[in-house]
């Protein structure tokens, strides 16, 4: 096989493709799957039940049979692997991935997929690679979690990292609640709300501007696929505001900028400037209209002597870098670790077993 494959398996989307650093992943598909199961309690075998399966929950693999099926489709059908001639593969690791999950993944890759080489690296490190940095901070707002991670010289500073089990799905549920309040007679599916969030959700310029949206926000009519008409008004701003005022979600937490600044306080003070002034926003939710501008404005207002400053993506990178930065960083890293034999080989795995992943992948 030629190019290594890079896989970024998120709670909502799985991104995969050959390691071409300045291109978006060639496959982006929903992680959620539908499975058809026969009801074994019934004598008529023609009766089946469709169930929805979430292989990845809050960033971590939970259903290994489902992820195996998904990867089989991606690797053999989508990317053209041939049985008996499998190639090398690099996975992105969410912050604080349990050791057992890493070991089970490398075991599946060698024993089920017969890969010739394996590597895994943390998403925070990879997102910085995508913008040409080895030190900085990442604020990754995924579908099921928010990860805040300082990275110094290519290594995540775990003592200062923070993981929150809230993310895009919680903002979708918030929007569903708000839309129901203003449209009590309309029944909206969560998948429709997800699409509405992607189309309409945005961030107010600041907290004062958010307060004014109650009076000044223009009302819009939207026709759902089933023909129902709903009214969208302030809800679009509430979703984004929840990241800066978590009390909207019922959480007693600081806003996302303050969380970043507080996480850095655990790191040696001599590195604060290098970390905060190389802040990278990533994850689908971070591409919300107005989020970057609001984040920078909140940063300029924070009490920290050194204020977070956002890194601009290189011009040669695709426009959707925010959504795909971990995958693209993985494509960059794959060009290094596999040619230089820094990866886990089949011989390494056979000799040491799944625990080899902790020694060779960091």
Determine the Cα angle at 56 with ends 351 and 117, to 5°.
Answer: 30
pTM here is 0.93
- Nearest-CA neighbor of 59 among 132, 149, 175? 149
Taking the CA atoms of 89, 90, 91 and 96 in sequence, report the sign of the dihedral they define.
Answer: positive
- Specify the pLDDT at position 45: 52
133-166+252-301 placed in CATH 3.30.420.40: yes
Main-chain phi, psi angles of 98, to 5 degrees: -60, 145
Main-chain phi, psi angles of 72, to 5 degrees: -60, -45
5-128+318-360 and 133-166+252-301 agree in CATH topology: yes
Regions in the chain scoring below 50 on pLDDT: none
- Specify the pLDDT at position 46: 55
In the chain, where are the structural domains located? 5-128+318-360, 133-166+252-301, 173-246
Q: What is the pLDDT of residues 102-122, one digit of tens each?
A: 999 999 999 999 999 999 999
Report the relative pairing of strands 344-345 and 117-122 from DSSP bridges: antiparallel
Report the relative pairing of strands 56-57 and 60-61 from DSSP bridges: antiparallel
- What is the secondary structure of 217-254 as a DSSP string? PPPEEEE-TTS-EEEESTHHHHHHHHHH-GGGGT----
Tokens 């060009």, residue located: 335
Contacts of 312 (CB under 8 A, 6+ apart): 131
User: To which CATH superfamily is domain 173-246 assigned?
Assistant: ATPase, substrate binding domain, subdomain 4 (3.90.640.10)
d(CA 282, CA 38): 41
Distances (CA, A) of 110 to 61, 114, 157, 199: 17, 4, 30, 41
- Specify the pLDDT at position 266: 86
d(CA 308, CA 274): 10
Topology (CATH) of 5-128+318-360: Nucleotidyltransferase; domain 5 (3.30.420)
Determine the Cα angle at 168 with ends 245 and 265, to 5°.
Answer: 50
């Amino acid at each position: 096989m030629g190019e290594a494959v890079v896989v970024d398996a998120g709670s909502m989307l799985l991104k995969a493709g050959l390691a071409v650093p300045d291109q978006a992943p060639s496959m982006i598909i929903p992680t959620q799957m539908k499975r058809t199961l026969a009801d074994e309690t019934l004598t008529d075998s023609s009766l089946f039940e469709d169930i929805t399966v979430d292989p990845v929950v809050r960033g971590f693999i939970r259903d290994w049979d489902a992820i195996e099926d998904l990867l089989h489709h991606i690797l053999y059908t989508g990317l053209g692997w041939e049985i008996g001639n499998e190639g090398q593969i690099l996975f992105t690791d969410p912050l604080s991935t349990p050791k057992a999950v890493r070991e089970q993944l490398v075991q599946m890759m060698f024993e089920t997929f017969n890969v010739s080489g394996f590597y895994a690296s943390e998403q925070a490190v990879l997102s910085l690679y995508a913008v040409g940095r080895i030190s900085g901070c990442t604020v990754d707002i995924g579908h099921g979690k928010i990860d805040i991670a300082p990275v110094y010289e290519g290594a995540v500073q775990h003592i200062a990292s923070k993981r929150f089990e809230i993310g895009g799905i919680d903002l979708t549920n918030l929007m569903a609640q708000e839309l129901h309040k203003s449209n009590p007679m309309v029944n909206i599916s969560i998948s429709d709300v997800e699409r509405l969030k992607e189309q309409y959700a945005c961030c107010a310029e600041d907290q004062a501007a958010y307060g004014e949206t109650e009076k000044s926000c223009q009302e819009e009519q939207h026709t759902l696929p089933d023909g129902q008409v709903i009214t969208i008004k302030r809800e679009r701003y509430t979703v984004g505001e929840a990241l800066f005022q978590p009390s909207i979600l019922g959480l007693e937490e600081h806003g996302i900028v303050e969380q970043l600044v507080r996480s850095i306080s655990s790191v040696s003070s001599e590195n604060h400037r290098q970390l905060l002034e190389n802040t990278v926003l990533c994850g689908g939710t971070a591409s919300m209209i107005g989020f970057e501008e609001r984040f920078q404005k909140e940063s300029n207002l924070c009490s920290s002597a050194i204020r977070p400053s956002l890194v601009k993506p290189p011009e040669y990178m695709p426009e959707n870098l925010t959504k795909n930065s971990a995958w693209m960083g993985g494509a960059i890293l794959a060009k290094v670790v596999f040619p230089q034999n820094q990866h886990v080989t089949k011989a390494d795995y056979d000799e040491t077993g799944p625990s080899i992943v902790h020694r060779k992948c960091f």
